[in-house]
Amino acid sequence: MTRILVIEDNKNLATGLRNNLEIEGYEVEVASEGTTGLSLARGSQSDLVILDLMLPGMDGYRVLRTMREEGIDTPVLILSARGEETDKVLGFHLGADDYVAKPFGLLELLARVDALLRRAASARGKPKLGSVVTFGDVQVDPGTHTVRRSGEEVTLRPKEYDLLIALLQRRGQVATRTELLEEVWGYSGEVYSRTVDTHVAELRRKLEENAAEPRHILTVRKTGYRIQS
């Protein structure tokens, strides 16, 4: 059974999350403060962590930073009332996989949980990336979710970053649009294929010297995309 660890100090919210996740068929463990949550993340076999930022004892940022520094790569969904862009960026830099701001809709949260678990299951079948991956003048550090071009940090939106990682994991092999939709967005169906194209265009704009004539993020006609070093 898929196991989810919820680290949330609001008792009513934690109980509600547990009940609804269990209805969906997940096994749920709950911690009400950061130190206990980190201990459970270290010792349990959780498939996903839902992590609040404002926690007693040890805040969510410190929990997340420590997890990643210790090599715990369990997907983390940040759940917080702090919805400022800087908070989100810091969370992603520390290694979060997704971010939902309170108040949130239950259906949206469940959809994000499902998408993260799908991506994690798909990634388990692929080789892990090294500490730093380079193509052209771009450097990607999966450990810190940091992307640099010519030494300057580039800000990517969460799905742009996830898409980049999905392409890099193939080490030059082609990724079809359908594969990318399933891994990055949790969708299935060609109706959404334009979503991939739009995000690839943004990656080219941010990472290629000339987005109109890309040298690294390449289109494979009628199939999908690949990255060439």
Mean pLDDT of 224-229: 92
Q: What is the pLDDT of residue 7?
A: 97
Q: Which fold has domain 3-123?
A: Rossmann fold (3.40.50)
Question: What is the arithmetic mean of pLDDT over 94-117?
Answer: 87
The domain defined by 133-227 folds into Arc Repressor Mutant, subunit A (1.10.10)
**Is residue 193 very low, low, confident or very high in pLDDT (cuts 50, 70, 90)?**
low
Neighbours of 82 (CB within 10 A): 17
User: Given this model, what pLDDT does residue 188 score?
Assistant: 53
Spatial CA neighbour of 21 closest among 37, 1, 35: 1
Considering 30-34, 138-142, 192-196, the range whose residues carry the highest mean pLDDT is 30-34
- Output the pLDDT for position 190: 47
Which residue shows structure tokens 């992603």? 92
* Greater model confidence, 220 or 85: 220
Mean pLDDT within 145-168: 89
Contact 168, 130 (CB under 8 A): no
For the chain, the structural domain boundaries read 3-123, 133-227
Query: Could you read off the pLDDT of 30-68 as tens digits, one per residue?
Result: 999 999 999 999 987 899 999 999 898 899 999 999 998
Do 31 and 5 touch, CB atoms closer than 8 A? Answer: yes
Q: What is the pTM of this model?
A: 0.63
For residue range 157-186, list pLDDT tens digits in order: 878 888 999 999 888 899 998 888 877 876
Mean pLDDT check: name the lowest of 66-80, 123-137, 183-197, 199-213.
183-197
Put residue 145 in one of left, alpha, beta given phi > 0 → left and psi -120 to 50 → alpha: left
